[in-house]
Structure 1
């Protein structure tokens, strides 16, 4: 089986695919070391690490570079590509070709825009169709931001229907956490549903029982790591012990390919 087919199969298992999101080589390698078979990227982490804004089509180069760094890792890779960094379907399709060539098994395409509006449904569907025509095996996770923006939640079903008709392999509704609404939405879909995990929302097991087949962590791990780093620095400044588990120098070195464990000390 190809990476594409294996990745697709993970969305049709008895339990939902829990997809953690990395922002660099070390975070991806550390997650893979814990047995995660598939790892996504986080657009916020990718952008923030480069000092660029998220969601404003500013990180095409950084996203592709990260995919090239991670594409040959011991895990299946799904890349968060915002809205494809273009409103021209052909340009989005070209990006998809480059990501697939870099080793990505999947791509995440969102319809939310930086100004708080949604991409016209026909345009986002055209992006999806162009990607599937250019790279038929690449797994397309089509995201709608109707539950993250004010007012348009009634558009959710219409948009998801258009996206799955355009060829999306999975649909993603971040911000949706109500169990009743999730269960009702699952019944209307022909493709798997992806939900963004929320610490205040249903557990992964509960989401699986509702019919959700993929649970993403989004930027949560990146934000948690950033917070932990700042907390450690302020604890030290205040003469308090550093909380939490800290990997050793050697353990981090061993995440990097080509490092002799005997020299990583």
Structure 2
């Protein structure tokens, strides 16, 4: 049994500035606020990053931010237009990644859509779409990368869940349902993939200020300022989180510092689920 323990798990790391040095990381939904922050931070820590998003323009913007004024970084980043509901699109992503960098070390399942509203107002089509992206899309991405991870006997899958996985919120039925499913998928993947040294964990962000925050406020007929104050009142730290804080946690979970964590859900909610 002891022979299965990776060497990195037994030695202290003195390098905290390049936690993902040489790792190949796929980030879905990397054109959005949280996904972009994750992709940029992974690159900052030395990863080769696949910036994947259904919106190619948004993905290109993230890639441009990663490259900045350093042309050498062009070899460490790749933009791919990706529809996580389409297996052909996913296979193209995996093939392009392996052709360029030979492997895939980390998958960050982050792509998601928000569907809000009273349950009687949510259409069957809206239900199908949110389940297709937020649940089936995560499963199809895992399906595509797992064979390679099994072959190399290592890998990390990080799934973006939500505090909505745990607590009820007004008019959140479709979104909360999908995020609850993500947590259970994470646990089952961890169980099935553990023997192959593949870890699977979930991150549950709380109130993170992004462009989607204004849409949520509008859906429940309050202003963004009112939403901010209401959320701050209900959490220990009395503030909203940032996309960078979610990105930092993602890097930690993807790194060799986190070899013994799998099947876990990590809340980053300012203490919202504590109160």
Query: TM-score, normalization: structure 1?
Result: 0.36
More helix by share: 2
